[in-house]
Structure 1
């Protein structure tokens, strides 16, 4: 079930590792995408806007959870590459304790603060009740988000990117069926969409955990390996917290953007919701390449093969450019069809026009988006999560400036510029950071090699 990424052609290895990740991310997007499509088509524009108004807050919290789980998996990937199985199991066990503690704490806090958060974001009065209901129930499912993403991150760290996909196919189908039943048959509206998402995530997490326990013999632990270790938790947190905070910091800018967009009215919120869901779906491939690079970089660092890391990054560039061009062309010819999944294109003409413009400006900058994702995940895989987190600060600053300065002046066009500006700002930081990280590690490895030679000569 495990896979060693430290040998073989980098382009082929990364591509084959990426494809299951991409399909998995696509199906994971179906959780929220199905909610949005079914709510927009069967409940109405206000319900669509209510779900969309929670997007940035959703990413603020759940992005932290997912980022932290991915961060916990980086030392596991490095230990797998170094073939230190006992310490690997100890890290898996302590990652479990950390996830339980964070899951309980975040659920209690976020559910209690749901309504005040939506009020603080000046959510329009005609959608605030639906928005609070939806996001409150989504937050209630945080423990299941932790469960699935931690199990999946462990599988990827051990080189298995296919198995999480199989579970997501099943649970995405469950989510869509539950959406249809709860929203259409039981007329539960946005509450039905949130409950369907929670149940689907619970199924995905439990099945994945059972599979992990039964099939990955490398993780069969002794009682001693299950014990809490302060030093191990410290190492896991040093990776996980910066990656979680990176998502949170990035999301702060998105929250400010959402606050500014909410002030433009529910029609604009609905347009950006439809366009944003489409953008997230198309960006899955880019995120998957980045996720693959995190595991690839981590394993090759463990094997002291930084030359393969450089080759892997170059291979990823080729994938990013090719995909970005294809995605732009697909959107150019198919944007109305895609928007039609969310809205009635014949009656909501103004909203459709705004959504098309928003998608055009965002898809035009997919290449810098892909580049920043590759650099960021590679840096994280090499163990420099805090450095990668600083790119989130650049994104946050760019979105904050757009939200507070340009949107009041330019209106909707200012909102269209927010993501491209954030992506370019992050690239300006991440590329030099990537070059420095690899060079710094190469020097450390060289120094260690020379020290070993000197010690051998002395002996």
Structure 2
């Protein structure tokens, strides 16, 4: 059954919040299982493994962040096509997005695996954790195609106003990830490689659920001529996706520079920074989700040429972001030690 959500009609605040909350729970669960993953690694393997996972998280922001920016940009064009009620163009745009993502996934996978060690050396990764970091990173980046596919599929669903299917997918995949983490680390003693395998497997489950949902949508019933290469649509997708991709990667470069300086201080500081980063990502979720919500809402209404609704939607997104920063920022500053101890970082460095 179709669950496409037309955001060009109806009360703006109702549409925004109806899309925002399922997507917030999706992103929250994704971050919570990331925190759980980190906590299991910290408690089951130790601070060195925790540091290794944290370093790869910084590199992931550079490489996987590029693909996320690209697919987010693609989803805006898909939303615009849907908002203009041109369903044939929606299908063409989705198909061209798939073609481009296959190419990008191959390039990013090859780059990340071939140059991972050099990147870690530039980041001044401690030799004590280099082996674990490489082991974890090669599995994570080896499964990059799965990550790109999931990001694209969830982006397509968001563009069509469906934030509930990714939520269901994350509930299932989070459970898979945590169960596999416990199995791999505590029972099979596979170390950080087991944690990486659990993460990629969970991502694969999410991807399959989203693909199966997309295939049930009536709007996704293709004609043969809609599957042919289209230079005009491909150019439009890249024109919109590449700036977002490079923006993410440039932000990641700054994070990698900070990570390099942290790494110079020793493994204790690296693992402490890893803990902090997990919580920062978690607490930034409401504002990030508000951005995704406004992006989908704006895309559909831009296609429908309803610019007053766009302005109202942007104001609603800004209000959500402001309130979340005040509340969650206070929690982060009032309870830092308690949050760190929950994940399992024992040696909190002080100066």
Question: Into which bin does the TM-score normalised by the smaller protein fall?
Answer: over 0.9
Structure 2: gaps (5+ residues): none
Per the TM alignment, residue 332 of structure 1 is displaced from its structure 2 partner at its CA by 4.5
Structure 1: gaps (5+ residues): 355-459
Q: What is aligned with 1:331? A: 332
CA distance in 2, matches of 1:119, 1:6: 50
CA distance in 1, matches of 2:37, 2:118: 23
Larger Rg: 1
TM-score of the superposition, structure 2-length normalised?
0.95
Contact 2:55 2:133 (8 Å CA) reproduced: yes
Contact 2:35 2:343 (8 Å CA) reproduced: no
Contact 1:133 1:190 (8 Å CA) reproduced: yes
Q: 2:69 aligns with which of 59, 67, 70?
A: 67
Per the TM alignment, residue 57 of structure 1 is displaced from its structure 2 partner at its CA by 0.7
Kindly report which structure 2 residues correspond to 1:111-260, keeping only aligned pairs within 5 A, or say none: 111-214=113-216, 216-260=217-261
CA distance in 2, matches of 1:236, 1:211: 23
Contact 2:283 2:329 (8 Å CA) reproduced: no
Q: What is aligned with 2:57? A: 55
Q: What is aligned with 1:286? A: 287
Question: Which portions of structure 1, spanning 4 or more consecutive aligned residues, are displaced by more than 4 angstroms?
Answer: none
Aligned length: 349
2:225 counterpart SS class: coil
Contact 1:147 1:206 (8 Å CA) reproduced: no
Q: What is aligned with 1:384? A: none
CA distance in 1, matches of 2:72, 2:143: 19
2:34 is aligned with 1:8: no
Q: What is aligned with 1:22? A: 24
Per the TM alignment, residue 108 of structure 1 is displaced from its structure 2 partner at its CA by 1.9
> Which range moves more in the overlay, 252-261 or 136-145?
252-261
Q: What is aligned with 2:271? A: 270
Contact 1:31 1:197 (8 Å CA) reproduced: no
CA distance in 1, matches of 2:75, 2:335: 37
CA distance in 2, matches of 1:201, 1:322: 31
Contact 1:11 1:316 (8 Å CA) reproduced: no
Per the TM alignment, residue 166 of structure 1 is displaced from its structure 2 partner at its CA by 0.2
Q: What is aligned with 2:305? A: 304
Q: 2:91 aligns with which of 78, 89, 92?
A: 89
Q: What is aligned with 1:320? A: 321
Per the TM alignment, residue 146 of structure 1 is displaced from its structure 2 partner at its CA by 1.2
CA distance in 2, matches of 1:20, 1:26: 10
Per the TM alignment, residue 3 of structure 1 is displaced from its structure 2 partner at its CA by 1.0
Higher RCO structure (Cα 8 Å, ≥6 apart): 2
Per the TM alignment, residue 308 of structure 1 is displaced from its structure 2 partner at its CA by 1.5
CA distance in 1, matches of 2:134, 2:214: 35
CA distance in 1, matches of 2:339, 2:127: 28
